[in-house]
Amino acid sequence: MSDALPHALPHALIVIDVQNDFCPNGALAVPEGDEIVQGINAMMDGAQAVICTQDWHPKGHSSFASSHEGKAPYEYIAMPYGSQVLWPDHCVQGSVGAQLHKDLHHNRADLIVRKGYNPAIDSYSAFFENDRSTPTGLEGYLRTRGLTKLVMVGLATDFCVNYSAVDAANLGFEVEVHMNLCRAIDLYGSLASAVNGMQDAGVVLKGL
């Protein structure tokens, strides 16, 4: 049986960062990150459009702890655009770790949005870089296709899914996040904060 649910409006399925580096044995592994893949595949038939996002960092990206002498992964630093978590090197352009998971039916995607390629700015959201103003172009694509309802799944619940969902809601889209098809990092209580933030923005959380 498909995990897809009937929707009153045609909807786009936004599959966030289901990449090797975010799955077990990856450089920034999200616990059980690979367990959501088959459920996501099952939802694709019910969507009018499928969009996948992909972290796509150059070597030496400013969000990598290795780019800052004396800093360790998961520390915070101040960047011109605000507070930034320092991550292990991950999803480097062209690497195996940056590839979408081999079992994800990414050949079904109408569009793949690559983000985080500006070496000076991280990009969690599918809609904006972390300066909160530089767009990725996804909004225009969805508007052009007349898609106003978005269903989001993927990795990680408390970072890229959260930022994407809140941005989409603030842009006026109707947004659902299927929590059973997401997995979280939960860094310093980030999951609870993300859940509260998404609900406050009007995002519908399914399976919470």
Give the pLDDT score at 132: 92
Rg (CA), the chain: 16
For residue 16, give the amino acid letter. I
pLDDT at residue 10, rounded to an integer: 85
The residues carrying an active-site annotation are: 17, 115, 160
Determine contact, residues 30/155, Cβ cutoff 8 Å. yes
Predicted local confidence at residue 8, as pLDDT: 53
Q: Residue 93: what pLDDT?
A: 98
Q: What are phi and psi of 138, to 5 degrees?
A: -65, -40
pTM of the full predicted structure?
0.94
pLDDT at 4: 46
Tell whether the torsion through CA atoms of 193, 199, 200 and 202 is positive or negative.
Answer: positive
What CA–CA distances, in Å, run from 83 to 2, 79, 142, 177?
40, 6, 29, 25
Count Cβ neighbours within 10 Å for each residue of 69-98 and write b for 16 or more, e otherwise: eeeeeeeeeeeeeeebbbbebbbbeebebb
Tell me the pLDDT of the chain (208 aa) as tens digits: 444 444 456 899 999 999 999 999 999 999 999 999 999 999 999 999 999 999 999 999 999 999 999 999 999 999 999 999 999 999 999 999 999 999 999 999 999 999 999 999 999 999 999 999 999 999 999 999 999 999 999 999 999 999 999 999 999 999 999 999 999 999 999 999 999 999 999 999 998 8
Burial class (CB within 10 angstroms; exposed 0-12, middle 13-18, buried 19+) of 47: buried
Residue labelled with tokens 């941005």: 167
In angstroms, the CA 190 to CA 186 distance is 5
Query: Alpha-carbon distance 155 to 22, whole Å?
Result: 7
**Token output for 111:** 């569009």
